[in-house]
Chains A and B, each alone.
Chain A
Amino acid sequence: MLGRLRHMLIKEFIQVLRDKRTRFVLIVPPILQMLIFGYAATLEIKHVPTAIVDYDNTQVSRDLISRFAASNYFEVRHIPADRRQIPLLIDRGDVILTIQINDGFARLLGKGETAPIQVIVDASNSNSALIGLGYVNQVAAKFAQEFQTARLQRSGATPLSSIPRIVLDQRPWYNVDISDRWFFIPGVIGNLIMVIVMNLTAFSVVREREIGTLEQIMVTPIRRVEFILGKTVPFFLVGLFDAILVSVFGTLWFGVPLRGSIGVLALGTILFLMCVLAIGLFISTVSRTQQQAMVTAFFFIMPAILFSGFGSPISSMPESMQWLTYLNPLRYFQEVLRSVYLKGGGLAALWQEMAAMGLLSIIMLAISVLRFQKSLD
């Protein structure tokens, strides 16, 4: 048995690694993806392109404007004299935020009234709009606070220190700089393994069938189990190789810390790989052509990535979708990856995820092996 299995494995390895393009696919795309995600995937907004219209034109209004300009959040690109220019600036995409200070701003402030400032924001990108508005509020609130303090101080009646005030002491844990890169890089590892290994597995049997070599293999004395092992073990190793490649790259190149134990990470990766192999095998059995296999694999991969918490939190999804995510092995693997990388999570924190992946992999492997045997008959 071992002899036959060995031959099968050798054949599969040769098939995967013989083709220059396939070798390319195993190495270059993962690194490229890592680079793009590391450099391009940022939701942080700095330097919001801004236009400011100042109808008040007083010392106070100019002071406020200089605070907007001096903060790192805004890049004041235009100072139009007329607010009628605003729609064009926004339409052309030159700015996404405009601040308008009306005539009488300083006068109202001086009288102790509330002076409004008007903000128009292009919300066609809601995230940038939200963050931009947050910055405006922050700068305005700081200005207001200082103005009020100064006023109360001038009135002299009250000792400043006795005014109650609550401040928020922010402590971002695990990712102190709140860096997008630290968030995305560990996640990319999960996506990559899923995409590469599932495609390889899904294609492997179908290709033999399409080219007609499956018949040839079936007439050899090879057993079912040996065939299945032969079709999965090489991809398992390829997946492991890619996992190591991207983890090392992410850690060395982007400096994402690996705080947990490598053993826990390896255990999670192995459990996840088993799930992916099982799904890939299943796709292989339900597809007749490679095109079908590719499309079916895509149908699995796309929702799996979207509903894994990779890009946006599961708690923000509709409730019914949240339930569905429990069937998604990638959901657990993402949790494991981020926890091990950033939180230094061990088995005590992650046993549920590990158990879920283990259970899923057993169920799915059983289904696909059964299904696979039937499809060979």
Chain B
Amino acid sequence: MRLHRLAAIATKEVLQIVRDVRSVAIVVAMPIAMMLAFGYGISLDVKHLPVYVFDREGSQQSQDLLKQFRASEYFDVKKAVDNYPALIRALDNGACKLAIVVPHDFSLRLNAGGPVSIQALIDATDSNTANIALAYSQAVIQTYSQRLQVDWVQRHGQRKIRPPISVEARTWFNESLESMVNIVPGVVVIVMAVIGVFLTALTIAREWERGTMEQLISTPVTELELMLGKLAPYFVIGMLDTCLCVGFGILWFGVPFRGSWSIFFLASALFLIVVLSLGYFFSVVAKSQLAASQISLLATFLPAFLLSGFLFPIDQMPVAVQAVTYIMPARYYMDLIRNVFLKGSPITLLVKELLALAFLSCLLVVVATRIFKKKLT
């Protein structure tokens, strides 16, 4: 391997990048655009869920109960209707996601004692929202019910009773339980996966398609030199993008950064090598830019999004799928990034993930050069 040949390839690549103004703009704009889109577009918090209420009694007590729903920031009571068909129509065309129905004999039965049930009709097409909304309604009802009980017992001259158990919850690492705090670090991983592949997937395929690859082959450059030379400029760009993303996450979204910068840079460098080599690999295999782009998106973006634990916790997946996640580099990088952002654990707890990434990056560099060599003969 000769450094000057490597440098020559790198210079050629840099020139090609710089000449295309749009791709330079994209390198800067894409991470920020993606951070914004993901940061605001994905929210697992349920707030201001549109709710319709149908109070079949219309007494003071039933109104009092519904007031609890109006007061909650999770619900946005859009309308009170006076018949079932209107309610069903609203659920059908999506005007409301939750409908609360108070029975016509609500206060009567409440004063007579015993349980009275309130209906919560929920549009469960969106399963996660439905689950969370039901939990919130449950909490509203329970609090109200408990207050009634305490009143009742007092009125009946019993000694004051207290609720037997209280749950004192402390949430670590993300005190306000906002999903943004957990999503933004994850977005860094996705951005890096996409950028890395975008940058490289087309470079080799383009040379094949335009016929310049033949010219490159006839020069004395070796496979390894060619690969490293082509990847080096993108590595620098990728690292700059990583910093851009993290800076943006901290300054714009206000996500804390609690861990060490050296672990962060080490992990990012390893992950970048992995995705760049992957992109290189696909562009060697596919030879056409269209196929290269489609395959690389499929192989990096999807796993980074779905199989890394970004939104969907890995330990809840079927065992076979869990096994597949172990060969996904994004999984390890996701763990590392979340850790340095939110937890700040010492490096001793992260050795496993770092080693896995290091192993995958070596493996991919070797495989990519081999494949390239085979393609030539």
Contact residues of B between 87 and 107, Cβ < 8 Å to A: 91-94, 97
| A339 proximal to B (CB < 8 A) | yes
Given contacts A171-B119, A174-B125, contact A166 B291 (CB under 8 A): no
**B306 contacts A349, C-beta separation under 8 Å:** no
Tell me the complex Cα distance, A290–B119, Å: 56
Given contacts A39-B317, A130-B177, A168-B138, contact A335 B94 (CB under 8 A): yes
Which residues on the B side are within 8 Å of A49 (C-beta)?
315
Q: Mark B289-324, 1 if CB is under 8 A from A, else 0.
A: 111011101100010001101011101111011000
Tell me the complex Cα distance, A200–B290, Å: 8
Q: Mark A121-134, 1 if CB is under 8 A from B, else 0.
A: 11111111111011
Tell me the complex Cα distance, A153–B349, Å: 52
Chain A residue nearest to B338 (CB atoms) is: A124
> Which of B159-167, B233-241, B246-254 contacts its partner?
B159-167
Nearest CB in chain A: distance from B1 CB, A: 28
Contact residues of B between 206 and 249, Cβ < 8 Å to A: 206, 209-210
Q: How large is the interface on A (under 10, 10 to 19, 20 to 34, 35 or more residues)?
A: 35 or more
Which residues on the B side are within 8 Å of A40 (C-beta)?
306-307, 312, 317-318, 321
**B118 contacts A173, C-beta separation under 8 Å:** no
Which residues on the B side are within 8 Å of A148 (C-beta)?
161, 163-164
Given contacts A113-B162, A165-B114, A311-B42, contact A123 B30 (CB under 8 A): no
Nearest CB in chain B: distance from A173 CB, A: 6
| B286 proximal to A (CB < 8 A) | yes
**B321 contacts A39, C-beta separation under 8 Å:** yes
Which residues on the A side are within 8 Å of B65 (C-beta)?
166
Chain B residue nearest to A311 (CB atoms) is: B42
Which residues on the A side are within 8 Å of B163 (C-beta)?
114, 144, 148
**A141 contacts B321, C-beta separation under 8 Å:** no
Q: How large is the interface on B (under 10, 10 to 19, 20 to 34, 35 or more residues)?
A: 35 or more
Which residues on the A side are within 8 Å of B154 (C-beta)?
none
> Which of B43-51, B265-273, B362-370 contacts its partner?
B43-51
**B34 contacts A126, C-beta separation under 8 Å:** no
Which residues on the B side are within 8 Å of A47 (C-beta)?
315-316
> Which of A233-241, A244-252, A263-271, A301-309 contacts its partner?
A301-309
Which residues on the B side are within 8 Å of A207 (C-beta)?
289-290
| A178 proximal to B (CB < 8 A) | yes
Nearest CB in chain B: distance from A225 CB, A: 25
| A180 proximal to B (CB < 8 A) | yes
Q: Mark A16-60, 1 if CB is under 8 A from B, else 0.
A: 000101101100010011001101111111110100000000000
> Which of A155-163, A216-224, A367-375 contacts its partner?
A155-163
Nearest CB in chain B: distance from A269 CB, A: 18
Given contacts A36-B302, A118-B168, A316-B43, contact A42 B115 (CB under 8 A): no
Tell me the complex Cα distance, A289–B302, Å: 25
**A126 contacts B182, C-beta separation under 8 Å:** yes
Given contacts A306-B42, A315-B49, contact A211 B209 (CB under 8 A): yes
A42, A138, A158: the one contacting B156 at CB < 8 Å is A158
Which residues on the A side are within 8 Å of B83 (C-beta)?
none
Which residues on the B side are within 8 Å of A292 (C-beta)?
20, 22-23
**B165 contacts A144, C-beta separation under 8 Å:** yes
**A43 contacts B311, C-beta separation under 8 Å:** yes
| A74 proximal to B (CB < 8 A) | no
Given contacts A42-B312, A172-B130, A303-B37, contact A126 B179 (CB under 8 A): yes
Which residues on the B side are within 8 Å of A124 (C-beta)?
172-174, 181-182, 338, 342-343
| B11 proximal to A (CB < 8 A) | no
Tell me the complex Cα distance, A176–B125, Å: 9
**B172 contacts A165, C-beta separation under 8 Å:** no
Tell me the complex Cα distance, A303–B36, Å: 9
**A157 contacts B158, C-beta separation under 8 Å:** yes
Which residues on the B side are within 8 Å of A307 (C-beta)?
37, 41
**A161 contacts B50, C-beta separation under 8 Å:** no
Q: Mark B163-206, 1 if CB is under 8 A from A, else 0.
A: 11111111111110111011000000000001000100010001
**B148 contacts A114, C-beta separation under 8 Å:** no
**A164 contacts B182, C-beta separation under 8 Å:** no
| A327 proximal to B (CB < 8 A) | no
Which residues on the B side are within 8 Å of A166 (C-beta)?
65, 110, 115-118, 141, 144-145, 148
Tell me the complex Cα distance, A343–B97, Å: 13
Given contacts A126-B174, A307-B37, A312-B43, contact A342 B125 (CB under 8 A): yes
- The chain B residues found within 8 Å of chain A, CB to CB, are 20, 22-23, 26, 30, 33-34, 37-38, 40-50, 65, 76, 91-94, 97, 110-132, 134-135, 137-139, 141-142, 144-145, 148-149, 152-153, 156, 158, 161-175, 177-179, 181-182, 194, 198, 202, 206, 209-210, 286, 288-291, 293-295, 297-298, 302, 306-307, 309, 311-313, 315-318, 320-321, 335, 338, 342-343, 345, 349
8 residue pairs from A and B, CB less than 8 Å apart:
A40-B321, A43-B127, A123-B181, A134-B135, A164-B114, A311-B42, A317-B41, A339-B94
* Besides A127-B182, A165-B145, A172-B134, 7 other A-B contacts (C-beta < 8 A): A25-B294, A33-B298, A147-B164, A162-B112, A165-B149, A298-B194, A315-B97
The 5 closest A-B pairs by CB, nearest first: A306-B41, A162-B113, A172-B124, A123-B174, A21-B291
